[in-house]
Amino acid sequence: MDCVTLNNGVSMPILGFGVYQVPPEETERAVSQALEAGYRSIDTAAVYNNEEAVGRAIAASGIPRDDLFVTTKLWISDAGEGSARQAFERSMDKLGLETLDLYLVHQPFGDYYGSWRAMEKLYAERRIRAIGVSNFFPDRLIDLINHNEIVPAVDQVETHPFFQRVADQNFMDKLGVRIESWGPFAEGRNGLFTHPTLTAIGEAHGKSVAQVVLRWLIQRGVVVIPKSVRPERMRENIDVFDFNLSDAEMMDVTALETGKSQFLDHRDPEAAKFLSTLTLTNE
């Protein structure tokens, strides 16, 4: 597995397995199959309500802890210096882990400055190997950086062929923040899996649309965490290290940019209002 080096020297697999919208009762099986397929990086979140199942799959796998890279995220309702530390300990209990590889502020809402201070302390105590953010646009990212000690190692943002984030990636690169894609397939929206351009590129390489999309992101240096509950797709999505897209093919995908989210805009007040109404169900 190819890895990237984060701004604090920690190595992170460039491809991992995401478990958003995987029901808790399906998660242990899915993560076990992903680990069998060769995934070593797992991306969950407190708000996904499946950290315990992720933890069970990790424990059952017998894979040495040092060979795994585990990410979880702090939800808005736990924002703040004191609450964030408690939420971290709850996540760690559920995951059955002593140390976490990457802890992310899930959304740029609520008292995330307080959360960041708690995360900086947990990092200093070596409970977390790297800390980062998610869904931060450049304005919020630079403000967080300007007013705190630690520069986030990662910003996990919606990134796929229809919303490519090239300017945001350039901005992050200059700050030493690694871009990580959520929704690499846009969850199939906008006809992604049958798109003629992506299909044609796939046919030229004997690869699927999913593999073309992941390869395009990886060649841009974007960390990817595709989700699938199906073992055959898990194997397909990790099988992207034996081919290269040409410059012309990279540009063909670049031409698919729509400049807008397929989901929600974190700068939209209605989105901020909606996300802040979601509270954790499994405290």
Q: Which residues bind ligand NAP (CB under 6 A)?
A: 18-21, 43, 106, 134-135, 156, 182-188, 193, 208, 210, 225-230, 233, 236-237
* CB nearer to ligand NAP: pick between 82 and 221: 221
Query: Do 216 and 250 touch, CB atoms closer than 8 A?
Result: yes
Q: Please count the residues of the chain.
A: 283
CA gap 179, 173 in Å, rounded = 8
Of 13 and 18, which has the nearer Cβ to ligand NAP?
18
Q: Of 62 and 281, which CB lies nearer to ligand NAP in the complex structure?
A: 281
Q: Smallest distance from the beta carbon of 247 to ligand NAP, in angstroms?
A: 25
Chain position whose Cβ is nearest to ligand NAP: 18
Q: Rounded to an integer, what distance in angstroms lies between the CA atom of residue 99 and that of residue 122?
A: 10
CB of residue 277 to ligand NAP, shortest distance in Å: 16
Residues annotated catalytic, as ranges = 48
Q: Which residues contact 275 (CB under 8 A, 6 or more apart)?
A: 76, 107, 109, 266
Q: Which is nearer to ligand NAP, 97 or 104 (CB)?
A: 104
Q: How far is the CB of 252 from ligand NAP (least distance, A)?
A: 20
- C-beta of 34: minimal distance to ligand NAP in Å? 11
Per the CB < 8 A criterion, the answer to whether 175 and 150 are in contact is no
The sheet carrying 128-134 orders its strands as: 17-18, 41-43, 69-74, 100-105, 128-134, 154-158, 178-182, 223-224
